[in-house]
């Protein structure tokens, strides 16, 4: 069974928080501002730096897969190989992560990706990755 972990995107400030930053390791309970909640099956993450206006962060789950350089792949990442450019997305239909090609194709991901796929970035910090062939 794989470890379930998240990173989070702050769309307001354009910041990606790593799992370690979300944990706020080393911070006392009084210093922590980021909290995660499970509500009706949805993961919610908020940053309460300003308690009057907390910022809702977008949770992005780790797929448990790695690219050919052993970098962890998350939901929203863009990967490439010899056949194309793919975005990693969660599919309710298959209850798992899938690859959506820039040509509209869909395929299942998995541990095999570490052989041929290269992580190029994610759609939040690098939206231009989906606009053209980045191989």
pLDDT given for residue 57 in this prediction: 96
Q: What is the pTM of this model?
A: 0.88
Asked if pLDDT for residue 133 goes beyond 60, the answer is no
From the list 85, 131, 76, the residue with the least C-alpha distance to 107 is: 85
Q: How far apart (Å, rounded) are the C-alpha atoms in residues 19 and 5? A: 7
Ranges in the chain annotated CATH 2.30.30.290: 65-130
Share of the chain above pLDDT 70, in %: 96
Structure tokens of 98?
A: 């899938």
In this structure, which topology does domain 65-130 adopt according to CATH? SH3 type barrels. (2.30.30)
pLDDT-derived band at 41, boundaries 50, 70, 90: confident
| Average pLDDT over all residues of the chain | 91
pLDDT given for residue 123 in this prediction: 95
């Amino acid at each position: 069974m794989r470890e379930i972990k998240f990173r989070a995107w702050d769309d307001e400030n354009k910041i990606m928080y790593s799992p370690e930053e979300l944990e706020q390791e080393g911070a006392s309970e009084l210093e922590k501002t980021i909290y995660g909640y499970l509500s009706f099956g949805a993961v919610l993450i908020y940053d309460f730096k300003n308690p009057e206006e907390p910022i809702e962060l977008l949770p992005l789950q780790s797929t448990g897969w790695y690219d050919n350089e052993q970098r962890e792949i998350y939901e929203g990442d863009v990967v490439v190989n010899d056949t194309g450019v793919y975005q990693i997305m969660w599919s309710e239909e298959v209850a798992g992560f899938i690859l959506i090609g820039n040509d509209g194709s869909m395929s299942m991901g998995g541990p095999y990706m570490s052989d041929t796929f290269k992580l190029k970035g994610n759609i939040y910090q690098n939206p231009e990755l989906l606009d053209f062939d980045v191989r």
